[in-house]
Amino acid sequence: MTTYDLPTREFLEVLTSVLGPIEKSTIALHEPNIGPHEHKMVAECLSSGWVSSVGEFITRFENQLSKITGAAHVIAIVNGTSALHLALHSVGIKPGDEVIIPSLSFVATANAVAHCGATPHFADSDPVTLGLDPVALRKHLASATTQQGDDLFNTKTGRRIGAIVPMHTFGHPMQIEELILIANEFGLPIVEDAAESLGSYVGKKHTGTFGVCGILSFNGNKTITTGGGGAILTDDESLATKIRHLATTAKLAHEWEFMHDKTAWNYRMPNLNAALGCAQLDRLDKFLRDKRNLANKYDIALKSSESLEFISEPKGTTSNYWLNTVRLKKPNLQIRNELLTASRAKGYLCRPAWNLLHQLPMYDNSPRAELPVAQMLLSSLINVPSSANLGL
């Protein structure tokens, strides 16, 4: 028998009390919830023959998302990464630019920047929201940048800084209103990476609708899934028109002629995926209730822990609790790894936060602010099983 340190013993106790002992071989971190409703709608789509990039489920899916998020325009896209790439391109990110992103994020945030020919410029996170820290960012921008005309430049690299991409980590809204003030002060547009935060709000306003535009992801592990998929949200009609055009090979409307006026993309979500998405959105409220219920169970179970705490939604926000997160009160990478190894050995498929993006080989030369909080969070955060059905 291995004898574990206190944090590991407490962690295993919490997992067992919230999730019960393992009956099947493992409990996944987050799995899709597919039922009869999904079967019915996907079958309906298949029978219609409209399985590709045109069809009524796409429009229906976009309208449903518009209603849920309050965004005036929603464009369904093949996946979240492509959505972010196209969003950044469409707000004017060009080769040679830099884009501010958190180092604590999924690699897609940085890749979307790189796909524009631009360079990610990493900023630090807030220990409470786990998203970009507006105060630290303001300090960094004030010392590291120079305004020239309408543009902001990185004084050291000489490159233009084109946008800020905040991310709502694990579904918890970051301080977007505070960030908007700073973005305005420095004249930078905000493109929100809301890939993880469908169903998360700041006050009554949905995440992803604060910036010029925002993106969602419907990958298999997200709150709802379309198999693979994403969406761009915006209130700006001309931006929406431009994005729709660029997502569909920039083809000019014509009955039979192939006339295209830009080098563009085939990024539109197929109707087949949208059918699955429509069925999932019909059940979103129930998923969110069950996920909140599960979060509540983790929160209660962790109240008596000496070494661990639960990460709750920030004040004034509603989180979708996409991935429930436990924090080591004393950050320690070795103990974090022991928690992961021990829980996974028992079949609870827990996961660490992502390795920091500025330490990945393709981004380790990218510009950055000081990143002490991101480093501390990496050594203290663990995601625990969070599928909606666990909260029933």
Contacting positions for ligand PLP (CB under 6 A): 79-81, 105-106, 108-109, 167, 193, 195-196, 217, 219, 230
**Minimum distance from CB of 257 to ligand PLP (Å)?**
33
**Minimum distance from CB of 79 to ligand PLP (Å)?**
4
**Minimum distance from CB of 220 to ligand PLP (Å)?**
9
The residue at minimum Cβ distance from ligand PLP is 80
Question: What tokens were used for 258?
Answer: 């192939």
Residues 265/86, Cβ–Cβ less than 8 Å? yes
Residues 320/223, Cβ–Cβ less than 8 Å? yes
Nearer Cβ to ligand PLP (93/108): 108
Count of beta carbons in the 10 Å neighbourhood of residue 181: 11
Count of beta carbons in the 10 Å neighbourhood of residue 233: 29
Nearer Cβ to ligand PLP (105/380): 105
Residue reference for tokens 């790189």: 114
**Minimum distance from CB of 186 to ligand PLP (Å)?**
23
Nearer Cβ to ligand PLP (301/371): 371
Nearer Cβ to ligand PLP (332/359): 359
- Three-state DSSP state, 216: strand
Nearer Cβ to ligand PLP (207/380): 207
**Minimum distance from CB of 37 to ligand PLP (Å)?**
22
Nearer Cβ to ligand PLP (108/326): 108
Minimal CA–CA distance to 226: which of 30, 34, 18?
34
DSSP lists the bridge partners of residue 132 as: 125
**Minimum distance from CB of 168 to ligand PLP (Å)?**
8
Q: Where on the phi/psi map is residue 156: left (φ > 0), alpha (ψ -120 to 50), or beta? A: alpha
Minimal CA–CA distance to 31: which of 291, 285, 338?
291
Phi, psi of 97 (to 5 degrees): -75, 165
